[in-house]
Structure 1
Amino acid sequence: MRNQRRTASRLAAAVALAAVGLTACGSGDSGGAADTKADRKADRPAASGTASPGASTGPADGSSRNDTARFAPQADRYAREAGVSPRLVMAILYNEAYKPHDPEFERSWQKIKPDSAFGIANMHRAAFDETKRGRPFADRSWFDLPDDPALAVRAAAWYLHDLDRQLPKQLPDGYTRDELLALGYNTGAGNMAAFARGARPGPQARTYLNTLRGNWDKAAEALKR
C-alpha cells in the first residue's frame, strides 16, 4: 500500500508538472522530431514529448546541469558524423529544451500520452526506429533516449541528415537550408518538402523557426566553449 501511494504521488506530480509545462508552451505537445508515419498538414507541427539530459550531476565546466550548452560536445561530434551543421543541431536542442528534463517524468507522461516523444531532442518512436536503420546505433532502443542524451543527439543529427537528402538544390527565397531542415525536424519530411516548394508554414511552425533564429547565436557560442 505504501509503495502504491508513492507511485500514485509521483505520477500525480508528473501530471501536475506536465500541465504547467504545456500551459507555458501554449500547446499540448508541439515541437520535436516528427512522427514519420504521418506527416502533419503544412500549418500544423508534429507532436512531441518531454526531454531529459539523464545525467544526475553537473558538467565538469561548472555550468548548470539545466544548461543545454552542456550538450555542445555531443552536438559537435555527432553532427560531424552525420554530415550536418553542428550549429543546427545545437540550435534544435535549444528549441527542444522547453519541457521538464527528467527521465521519470518522461516515462510517466508517456503512460498518459503514448504518442509523446523521448529524449532531449524530443524524438518520436517511429522517427527514431526509421533513422537508426543501418546506423552505428541500430541496436539501440527508443526507450533508451530518456537516460542517454548522447544517443538522443546522435539520432537527431542522423535524422537531419536524412531530411537533408530530401531537399532540392533550389530553395525558395526567405529560408536557408538549415532553416528548412529545422522545419522538417519539427513538422516532418512531407511538410518540409512543401515549404521547399513555396508553401507557407502555419503559425506554430513559424514560431518554431523564429525560436530557432533566436537560438542561432546562442548555439554558436555554446560550440565555442
Structure 2
Amino acid sequence: MSEEQQGPRWGRWLVVGVLVAAGWGIVRGGGHPTDPVPSGAPSTSASADAGRAPGAADGPSASAAPTKPSKPSGPYDPADYAAPVRRFAAEAGVNPQLLMAILYNESYKPHDPELERAWQRGKPDASFGIANMHRAAFDDTKPGRPFASRQWEELPDDRGLAVQAAAWHLHDLAAQLPARVSAPLNHDELLALGYNAGAGNMLAFARGVKVGAQAQSYLDRLHDNWAKSGTAVQ
C-alpha cells in the first residue's frame, strides 16, 4: 500500500504542508469559499447553515458556537491504536502483531487528514488512512463486512475504520495463499508482501519467485518493527 517508492517522501510532504498552511492563511484573510478547509473545521461538506439552531438569526448579531476538531491530528504512534488492532485482528482472524507491524511500516508519512487530502488532490491514486489503503483495495474488501456502508474517503478521519479495513484485507489475502508454498517466507511475511505489492506478487513470491529490492525493503522494515509490534499488542 505504500507510496514510498514513487520519489522522495518527506520533501513532497513538506511541500504539501506549506501549501496547506498557505491555504489556511488565505481562509483567515477572507479567501474564496472554495479554499481548503482548515484542519480544525468539521470534516463534512455540509454548508455552514447546517449546524445552525432552528430560528437562529442571520447577520452580524448571530453568534457562532466554537467548533471542536473532528479529525485526528498531531503526532502519530501506531502503538496508540493497540486496542483497535487487537479487536479487528480478532474479528478478521489475522495476527495482531502482523497488523501492528504493517501500521508501523506505513507510518513513514504524516497522517494528518488535511495533508492526506491535499496530497490526494495532486495525486488522485494516493492511499488514505494510517494503513495507507488505496480506493480499489478498500472497495474490494468491504462487501459483506461490518463496514460495508462506509466510504474510502472516510479513512483519514476514522483511524479505527482504517485498522478494520486493513485487517480484513489481510484476511482476504490469506484466503488466496496456497496451503503449501515454495518460498523461504512464512505466512505473515507473505501477507505483508501482499499488502504492500498486491495479491499477484504475493502469489508469485509464494511460488518461489525471488523478492525484488523494493519488496525486500518493505520486508526488512517489517522485521525491524516486529518486536515492538508484539510488545504493543500484548
Under TM normalisation by the shorter chain, which class is it? 0.7 to 0.9
- Equivalent in the alignment of 1:223: 233
Q: 1:177 aligns with which of 187, 196, 202?
A: 187
Aligned: 1:97 with 2:107 = yes
**8 Å Cα contact 1:74/1:153 also seen in 2:** yes
Q: Is the 8 A contact 1:186 1:208 kept in 2?
A: yes
Q: Can you list the C-alpha shifts for 1:17-66, whole angstroms capped at 9, x where unaligned?
A: xxxxxxxxxxxxxxxxxxxxxxxxxxxxxxxxxxxxx4247xxxxxxx42
Distance 1:112 1:192 in 2: 29
CA distance in 1, matches of 2:73, 2:206: 41
Q: Are 2:200 and 1:190 aligned?
A: yes
Any conservation in 1 of the 2:127–2:134 contact (CA below 8 Å)? Answer: yes
Name the count of aligned residue pairs: 174
Cα distance in 1 for partners of 2:227, 2:151 equals: 33
1:55 aligns with one of 68, 72, 90: 72
Partner of 2:31: 3
Residues 15-164 of structure 1 mapped to structure 2, 5 A cutoff: 54-56=71-73, 65-164=75-174
Aligned residues of 1:119 and 1:146 also touching (Cα < 8 A) = yes
Whether the 8 Å CA contact 1:118–1:146 is kept in 2: the answer is: yes
Root-mean-square deviation over aligned CA pairs: 2.0
Distance 2:222 2:208 in 1: 20
* Equivalent residue letter for 1:209: L
Aligned counterparts of 1:100 and 1:56: Cα–Cα separation in 2: 9
Runs of 4+ with >6 A deviation = none
Identity of matched residues, %: 58
* Distance in 2 of aligned mates of 1:83 and 1:97: 23
Does 1:209 pair with 2:219? yes
Post-superposition shift, 1:2?
3.4
Contact 2:130 2:163 survives alignment (8 Å)? yes
Other structure's SS at 2:156 match: helix
Shift of 1:147: 0.2
> Higher relative CO (CA 8 A, sep ≥ 6), structure 1 or 2?
1
Shift of 1:201: 1.6
Q: Distance in 2 between matches of 1:187 and 1:198?
A: 15
- Residues 197-223 of structure 1 show CA distances to partners (whole Å, capped at 9, x for unaligned) of 000121110000000011000101111
Structure-1-length-normalised TM-score: 0.73
> How many angstroms apart in 2 are the aligned matches of 1:75 and 1:101?
17
Q: Deviations over 1:149-169 (max 9, x none)?
A: 000000000000000010011
Could you say what secondary structure the match of 1:165 adopts? helix
Cα distance in 1 for partners of 2:34, 2:214 equals 37
What is the aligned counterpart of 1:167 among 154, 170, 177? 177
Shift of the alpha carbon at 1:173?
4.0
Q: CA deviation at 1:171?
A: 2.0
